[in-house]
A = this chain, B = another copy of it.
Amino acid sequence: METTEKFLDYVKKMQAYTEAIGLMYWDLRTGAPKKGVDQRSQVIGTLSSEVFGMQTSDELATMLDELGSNLDSLDSITRKTVEKVKKEYDMSKKIPADEYKAYVILTSKGESVWEEAKEKSDFSLFYPYLKEIVETNKRFVSYWGVKDDNPYNTLLDEYEPGMTTEILDEVFGELRKKIVPLAKKIADSPNQPKTDFLFKHFPKDKQQQFSYDILKQLGYDFDAGRLDATVHPFATGLNRGDVRITTKYDENDFRTAVFGTIHECGHALYEQNISADLEGLPLSTGTSMGIHESQSLFYENFVGRNENFWKHNYETLQGYAPEQFGAVSAEDFLAAINESKSSLIRIEADELTYPLHIMIRYEIEKGLFNGDMKVEDLPQIWNDKYEEYLGVRPSNDAEGILQDVHWAGGAFGYFPSYALGFLYASQLKAAMLKDLPNFDELCANGDLEPVKNWLTDKVHRHGSMKKPLEILTEATGEGLNATHLVEYLEEKYGRIYQLD
Residue numbers in B under 8 Å from A46 (CB-CB): 12-13, 16-17
Q: Is the CB of A33 within 8 A of B280?
A: no
Contacting residue for A27 out of B23, B33, B40, B240, CB 8 A:
B23
CB of A37 closer than 8 Å to a CB of B: yes
Interface residues of A in 7-55 (CB under 8 A from B): 12-13, 16-17, 19-20, 23-24, 27, 31-40, 42-43, 46-47
The reply to whether B280 and A32 form a contact with Cβ atoms under 8 Å apart is no
Q: Does chain B have a CB within 8 A of A286?
A: no
Task: Assess the B20–A43 pair: CB atoms within 8 A.
Answer: yes
Please judge, given known A-B contacts A27-B27, A38-B241, A241-B38, whether A19 and B33 are in contact too, CB under 8 Å.
Answer: no
Q: Does A223 interact with chain B (Cβ within 8 Å)?
A: yes
In the complex, what distance in Å separates the CA atom of A244 from the CA atom of B27? Answer: 12
A40 touching B19 by the CB < 8 A rule? yes
Q: Is the CB of A223 within 8 A of B19?
A: no
B34, B38, B224: which contacts A35 (Cβ < 8 A)?
Answer: B224
In this complex, the member of A12, A242, A279 whose beta carbon has the largest number of chain B beta carbons within 10 angstroms is A242
Residues from 212 to 256 in A contacting B, C-beta threshold 8 Å: 221-226, 238-244
User: Which residues of chain B have C-beta atoms less than 8 A from A238's C-beta?
Assistant: 36, 40
Beyond A13-B46, A17-B46, A33-B223: 14 further Cβ-contacts under 8 Å? Answer: A12-B42, A12-B46, A16-B46, A20-B24, A20-B43, A20-B47, A32-B242, A33-B226, A33-B244, A34-B241, A35-B223, A39-B239, A39-B279, A39-B280
Minimum CB distance partner of A37 in chain B: B241
Given A20-B20, A43-B16, does the pair A33, B279 have CB atoms closer than 8 Å?
no
* A39, B226: Cβ atoms closer than 8 Å: no
Contact A242 B19 (CB under 8 A): no
> Which listed residue, B19, B35, B241, touches A241 by the CB 8 Å rule?
B35
Chain B's closest residue to A27 (CB) is B23
Nearest-CB residue, chain B, relative to A239: B39
Question: What are 8 A-B interface contacts by the 8 Å CB criterion?
Answer: A16-B42, A20-B43, A23-B23, A23-B24, A33-B241, A34-B241, A35-B241, A42-B280
A16 contacts across to B, CB distance below 8 A: 42-43, 46-47
- Min CB distance A14 to B, Å, is 10
- The distance in angstroms between the C-alpha atoms of A479 and B222, with both chains bound, is 54
- Given the interface pairs A16-B47, A24-B20, A40-B242, the reply to whether A35 lies near B280 with Cβ below 8 Å is no
